[in-house]
Amino acid sequence: MSAHSDFDRGHTDDLMSFLAAAPSPYHAVASVAARLEKAGFRQVEETAPWDGGTGGTYVLRGGAIIAWYVPDGARPSTPYRIVGAHTDSPNLRVKPIPDTGAHGWRQIAVEIYGGALLNTWLDRDLGISGRLTLKDGSHHLVAVDRPLLRVPQLAVHLDRGVNTEGLKLDKQRHMTPIWGLGDVEEGALIRFVAEAAGVPAAEVGGWDLMAHSVDPPAYLGRDEDLIAGPRMDNLLSVHSATAALAAVAARPELPYIPVLAAFDHEENGSQSDTGAEGPLLGNVLERSVFARGGAYEDKARALAGTVCLSSDTGHAVHPNYAERHEPGHHPLPNGGPILKVNVNQRYATDGGGRAVFAAACERAGVPWQTFVSHNAMPCGTTIGPITAARHGITTVDVGVAILSMHSARELCGARDPQLLTKAMTAFLEN
């Protein structure tokens, strides 16, 4: 750490606090909104009329938030600079009828959300978080941030081949957490969670609940040059984007309208009203143009000049599995943000986008790296291609290199979050 004289440990400390405060997408957007409020942003309701004034504004919908800052002198045709990310992470989500059990154990029925590394959820102390929806339509956040649930692994004595033949987990039979002893009590979980949220259980009409690891983020390593924690994919990007937007909102002159777009449901395809494939971002951008007195022609001109930085975590080279990585591209933690490339459009980056990102990093004095997948190891995808295709805007895929992606606890360089934020800030402001 001492080798990096410009390293701001306070930024990484703040990221770790953000991760701990955001066990669910709903908590994540609430935290983002609170940070933006401190920077002078104001919330607008989608059902209310919008004015065309300057300043910072944001819209909340479920686990998604869109925020933008209209600078002085902005015209209806002024292009946007967008930083996109997602708020959800693979985990265990509570089923509609949650109370279950067998053989004297009380358990909670869960669905597997996204591409979770199932083994990382075994023998880990889990809390429960999310939101409750009351019969009047109001939403209430809840977080039981103490050891409440546990998915116990079968002892090695009863699975002698586990270390030689590999662990085999059935998503339906083996991933049901325990939370006590006794007979199954119908309605017990919702009564418990409602009490924790301070609302009457009889008024609860619906819920969106999930398990989360209660282990706090922590520095790791001899020199504490790494950090380990939950939900870095992709709250790390959400945190950096929020800090960057708040920073540029204080600038006196901006040639673009900077935007933060943090979507839900990326981990299962983005097809929802709060996902990147939904209409939320397009509606916000269009209404912003129209509120400033613009028409369709202004919207078309604005989008034609818009660039989106799609930020999501990527793979650092794994020292124990280097053969799984493209041999000419080995991103390392603390080497700066990565530019993600895939010619089959799993990432949206092209040569023009590369130039925009490289210029932003140069202005910020930030090193950067390139990621491309091994040809025999097809890569995942991001909101980048969806955003580019849906809105017809230039999109660049970037992120931070991590290990243990989709684990209940991931690993990244302690310096990289600050470097990503600096690059995003330079991208948004010029």
DSSP assignment of 34-51, as one string?
HHHHHTT-EE--TTS---
Distance CA 251, CA 430 (A): 11
Preceding peptide of 283 cis, ω within 30°:
no
Give me the mean pLDDT over the 338-360 stretch.
Answer: 95
Burial of 158 (0-12, 13-18, 19+ CB in 10 A): exposed
Residue 139 has pLDDT above 70, yes or no: yes
| pLDDT tops 50 at residue 372 | yes
Q: What average pLDDT does the segment 161-174 reach?
A: 94
Distance, CA of 326 to CA of 323 (rounded, Å): 8
pLDDT recorded at residue 197 = 97
Please determine, for residue 175, whether its predicted confidence score (pLDDT) is greater than 50: yes
| Global model pTM greater than 0.85 | yes
- Bridge partners of 64, per DSSP, are 61
Bridge partners of 207, per DSSP, are 132
* pLDDT (mean) for 275-293: 97
C-alpha triplet 32, 17, 20: angle, nearest 5°? 90
Element housing 235 (H / E)? helix 232-248
Structure confidence at residue 253 (pLDDT): 86
Helix residue ranges, H only, 249-376: 280-291, 296-304, 351-364
Structural contact between residues 44 and 66, judged by C-beta atoms closer than 8 angstroms? no
Residue 1 pLDDT level (bands cut at 50, 70, 90): very low
Which pLDDT score, from 0 to 100, does residue 4 have?
A: 46
**Residue 414: predicted pLDDT:** 98
Q: How confident is the model at residue 2 (pLDDT cuts 50, 70, 90)?
A: very low
Tell me the pLDDT tens digit for each residue of 24-40.
Answer: 999 999 999 999 999 99
Q: Give 388's contacts (C-beta < 8 A, 6+ positions apart).
A: 308, 348, 394, 395
The average confidence (pLDDT) of the chain is: 96
pLDDT (mean) for 239-243: 98
